[in-house]
Amino acid sequence: MNTSYNNAVEVHDLEKRFGSFTAVSRISFHIAPGRVFGFLGPNGAGKSTTIKILCGILSPTSGTGTVGGFDILTQQDKIKQNIGYMSQRFSLYEDLTVEENINFYAGIYELSREKKRARKEWIIQMAGLKGLRSSLTRTLSAGWKQRLALGCAIIHEPPIIFLDEPTAGVDPISRGNFWDLIRTMAEKGITVFVTTHYMDEAEHCDSLALIYKGAIIATGTPHELKTNFMKGDVLKISLPDSQQWLERLAGLPVISESALFGSDIHAVVSNATTASPIIRRFLDQHTVIGYTINDIEPSLEDVFVSLIENYDIENKKNEPDKS
């Protein structure tokens, strides 16, 4: 294990092309040891490609980087030995029992008999699977499978772990318990690189990178993203039939962006104090009853939607005129 590195993960101008398609476009970021790093983006944004490069599965087209102090170009085998990886499909063998899955991963990482015994007991306790050692993995609930998969991924006690959408399809209580485990690992010095599409989960990360169309469009702590990257104020508009009113409200000049958040509309405005009366007059003129308008702190989802829309607008401006 290489312990001489300053950053657990460090990437400079990383690019991956598949023919004429650029999946990852010259991205750069770093992660300090013992931190929880969230990698957020829609499907097809480049998250999985980046993870595969960092885990030593794919080679980049260009750029440089290290994981645990090991070079992503020349030391891929070393990287694989010193990381844990858990996919959203949990990387478990459904036809094996709980104990057999643990034994399998202990064998892959060549743990000694004594080490395997100790780590097996730790996983059983951590995952809450005492009494289920002989149960087939396919019979477990999603929450149990999730914790078992995490245990198998870190059975060799790696200093860095990559979690790819680890809470997809898991109930909210299990999601919360899983994030408690992530925080516990970070407190013990393990670096956690996690992708998620749940914006409430991103709040638990120490730092975040937002990736879209292969490019990183913003980085920072959750607080920094909400305070430094949101251009304007956010109004929460609650009213009956919000879906029907979304497009009509979006046509108001004071609203630069709007989107549905549950049954509410979040509207981005340049100034909440001046925009609210204009929106109220509009709704009153259309005899809307029972609505409320509140100035709220932007959520990470507000920030992400705004950044994506601005990114698309700027790129469209820079496209060559085909007329």
Q: Are residues 145 and 61 in the same domain?
A: yes
Is 160 part of any domain? yes
Whole-number average pLDDT of the chain: 91
Which of 226, 254, 274 corresponds to the end of one domain? 226
Q: Which residue has the higher pLDDT, 4 or 57?
A: 57
Q: Which residue has the higher pLDDT, 132 or 201?
A: 132
- Can you give the pLDDT at residue 35? 96
Q: Which residue has the higher pLDDT, 196 or 156?
A: 156
The answer, yes or no, to whether residue 69 has pLDDT greater than 60, is yes
pLDDT in tens, 6-31: 899 999 999 999 999 999 999 999 99
The answer, yes or no, to whether residue 4 has pLDDT greater than 70, is no
Q: Which residue has the higher pLDDT, 175 or 267?
A: 267
pLDDT in tens, 103-138: 999 999 999 999 999 999 999 998 889 999 999 999
Q: Are residues 77 and 166 in the same domain?
A: yes
Is 199 part of any domain? yes
Least reliable range by pLDDT among 3-7, 166-170, 174-178, 228-232: 3-7
pLDDT band at 320 (very low <50, low <70, confident <90, very high): low
- Can you give the pLDDT at residue 198? 79
Is 3 part of any domain? no
Percentage of residues of the chain with pLDDT beyond 90: 70
Query: Residue 207 phi/psi, 5° resolution?
Result: -150, 160
- Can you give the pLDDT at residue 142? 86
CATH number, domain of 180, equals 3.40.50.300
Q: Are residues 142 and 199 in the same domain?
A: yes
Which of 226, 246, 264 corresponds to the end of one domain? 226
Length of the chain: 323
Is 79 part of any domain? yes
Least reliable range by pLDDT among 31-40, 237-246, 263-272, 308-317: 308-317
Over range 130-151, report the average pLDDT. Answer: 92
The answer, yes or no, to whether residue 167 has pLDDT greater than 90, is no
Give the pairing type, strands 191-195 and 36-40: parallel
Is 78 part of any domain? yes
Q: Are residues 192 and 236 in the same domain?
A: no
Q: Are 12 and 60 in contact (CB under 8 A)?
A: no
The span from the CA of 109 to the CA of 97, in Å, is 19
pLDDT band at 209 (very low <50, low <70, confident <90, very high): very high
Q: Are residues 23 and 90 in the same domain?
A: yes
Q: Are 72 and 53 in contact (CB under 8 A)?
A: yes
- For the chain, the C-alpha Rg in angstroms (whole number) is 23
Q: Which of 66-80, 83-97, 256-270 has the highest mean pLDDT?
A: 66-80
The span from the CA of 198 to the CA of 165, in Å, is 9
Q: Are residues 196 and 290 in the same domain?
A: no
Indicate the burial class of 323 (C-beta count within 10 angstroms; 0-12, 13-18, 19 or more). Answer: exposed
Is 237 part of any domain? yes
Which of 185, 210, 226 corresponds to the end of one domain? 226
Q: Are 162 and 51 in contact (CB under 8 A)?
A: yes
The answer, yes or no, to whether residue 5 has pLDDT greater than 60, is yes
Q: Are residues 268 and 149 in the same domain?
A: no
- Residue 240: domain span: 231-297
Q: Are residues 107 and 255 in the same domain?
A: no
Torsion angle (degrees, nearest 10) of CA 80, 82, 86, 90: 80
CATH number, domain of 244, equals 3.30.70
Domain count, the chain: 2
Q: Are residues 117 and 240 in the same domain?
A: no
Is 24 part of any domain? yes
Instruction: Tell me the whole-structure pTM to 2 decimals.
Output: 0.84
Is 266 part of any domain? yes
Over range 194-202, report the average pLDDT. Answer: 84
Q: Are residues 22 and 59 in the same domain?
A: yes
Q: Are residues 31 and 66 in the same domain?
A: yes
Quick one: tokens of 133? 């050692």
Percentage of residues of the chain with pLDDT beyond 70: 96
Q: Are residues 203 and 161 in the same domain?
A: yes
